[in-house]
Structure 1
Amino acid sequence: MNESKCAAVLLGPPGGGKTTLARTLAARNRITVVEVGNLLASEVRLDTPLGRQIKPYQAAGELVPVEIVRQVVSRKLEKVQGDLVLFDGFPRSVAQIDILFQLLKDLHLQLCAVIVLKLDSQTSVNRLSGRRICSQCGTLHNVYTESGLQEESCDSCGGKLIQRQDDRPEIVRERFASYERETMPVVEFFKREMRDLTWEQQAALPPEEVAERVWHRLEENVPSLGREQDK
């Protein structure tokens, strides 16, 4: 990567729509999304040695140890392309901040934006307890908000829909508490140390409106995004 490449951080509580937003943004332009949660889940699904270490932490709704996260993220970043690298839900703890900046340094990436999604705990529970993920294509669905959705199969590919173990209501509440305990100090760090790059966005708005607002802010911080779209 060259020195002109930018990176952005996307933070927010469980159910805030981070992954949906990240994928919507990536579809608009040459953005590489580093979905840390999905990378960790993939290790578990493939039953790799790292996955076997990750599994008990995910099942309990707890943060995965820093060193494991570093290994997984580093491997993904070796293959990134595009005008912007978007970290979805990383760093999730103060201990991961140093890892982020070390990765940025190693890959000659400049931090250009920090997006913080805001959502209350009850809305988080309502959103996630109805969430289902296609076991084949990874498409996200919600049995409560999508009228006519068959709870067992994906509308996109027909694959089986599954509920992540950490989307059960009791686990979602613990995940939200963990976010407030572990990740809010990260948010405060960026708001304090990088105030000009950091902004908050209400996540209870319709997803398309959230995406539009965030996109315009990213264009202001990463001019190459707008230039690429105009081509």
Structure 2
Amino acid sequence: MSEQLRRFFSNGTTAEIAKRLLGKLLVYHSPDGIMSGYVTETEAYLGQSDSTAHAFQGKRTPANEALYGVPGTIYIYSIHSRLCLDIATQAKDVPEGILIRGIEPYQGLDFMNQNRPRHGFELTNGPGKLMEALGITDKQMNLVEFGEGALDFDLRNEKVPHQIATTARIGVSNKGTWAQKPLRYFVKGNPFVSKTLKRDIDLKNYGWQEK
């Protein structure tokens, strides 16, 4: 992993990093070719104290071991038969992470459309959808650091959100008050965000600042 990426995933709280990820370019060097997209939606999970997190109360298994890795370690897990992409964000053995919930396609749109039957805004506006669109169908990249394998972030190529919205996380287990914590962040007005209503879409700039 580059020093720039390591600093990015090490600097700040998990919630702060989750907000900073919005607009960053996720890149997948797939067997078919490069696919990429700007991150539009994230959720922060705060480890051992977070009753909705996979590492709540220090749970540590082979399945969630990636969460205990160095900052920027890839954690792929399945829920409801769909894969999700998560990133470890704190020091080694501090199991906090960020779920990537949506991306706005940039490169490789043809590949994405081949991988997923639903197109348009439905292509990548959810965590399972974006993994299907990228054609990631297994957990082989688990425990690999971003930039050391097929998945990377291009921090030089980014968009800047006009406004970041914050809500409770979506679909987490209703265990105590943590289910209602405002730890979901998204680019307001962007159509590649889960559960966005048509009336809330910024059709001119998709919620990004004009350059």
TM class by shorter chain equals under 0.3
TM-score by length of 1: 0.24
Which protein is richer in helix relative to its size?
1
Q: Return the TM-score normalized by structure 2.
A: 0.26
Structure showing the higher strand proportion among its residues: 2
Bigger relative contact order, structure 1 or 2, given CA contacts below 8 A and separation 6+?
A: 1
